[in-house]
């Protein structure tokens, strides 16, 4: 399933921010980015446990790598 992803600023691993629920063809081809306030959102990397603040423009779209 496709998701909005962030890339850790510490270790460089990509991790899921939120899933994209494709209900229509438009959702699949033109998914709307989640809203994030101007102050950003703090997230912890599941790989290295470092916490960083991310902005909306840092979200990327696509599948996560399979382990």
* Spatial distance between the Cα atoms of 30 and 13, rounded to a whole number of angstroms: 25
Length of the chain: 67
pTM of the model: 0.80
Instruction: Give the domain extent around 30.
Output: 3-62
Looking at residue 67, its pLDDT comes to: 45
Domain total in the chain: 1
Task: Write the pLDDT tens digit of every residue in 20-58.
Answer: 876 666 666 777 889 999 999 999 999 999 999 999 999
In a domain, 36, yes or no: yes
Would you say residue 67 lies in a domain? no
């Amino acid at each position: 399933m496709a998701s909005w992803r962030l890339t850790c600023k510490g270790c460089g691993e990509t991790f899921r921010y939120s899933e994209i629920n494709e209900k229509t063809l438009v959702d699949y081809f033109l998914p709307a980015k989640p809203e994030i306030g101007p102050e950003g959102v703090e997230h912890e990397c599941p790989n290295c446990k470092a916490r960083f603040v991310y902005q909306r423009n840092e979200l990327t779209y696509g599948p996560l790598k399979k382990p």
